[in-house]
Amino acid sequence: MRDAKYFADLADRFIAQVQESRIGPSSDVALVYHWEDDCGNAYPPQRESIVPKIRIRASGDQDAVREVALEWMTQTVIDNINALVRHETGELRPGRPGFPPARIARIDLEIIDPDSN
């Protein structure tokens, strides 16, 4: 079972990855959750996009406007990592109707940038 320190360290690694990648307007950044029950049986991964869609309309230097939008986008992704990963405890969560209790066993970060191909 993972503990709070594991998830805090994971958040730091994810943030470093985001800062090293140049997220562009068509990038998708997602967290992939790997869940397990109390006996360690795995559930199918759950993918959650954490990148905002930002539209800015402004006159003037469009390169500067685009740069500001990308900075906001990157900061929002970092804020989402802090909110969703850093404070995870790895504890068993109550199940929903039809689902037994489960915990997050692992979280992966996906950064997909179709413009880099």
Concatenating the DSSP letter of every residue in 54-72 gives -----SS-HHHHHHHHHHH
User: pLDDT by residue (tens digit) across 16-62?
Assistant: 999 999 888 888 999 999 999 989 999 999 999 999 877 777 788 88
* Enclosing H/E stretch for 17: helix 4-20
- The pTM (predicted TM-score) of the whole model is 0.86
Q: Report d(CA 49, CA 52) in Å as an integer.
A: 8
Spell out the domain ranges in the chain.
Answer: 4-116
Residue 66 contacts residue 24 (beta carbons within 8 Å): no
> Phi/psi of residue 7, each to 5°?
-70, -35
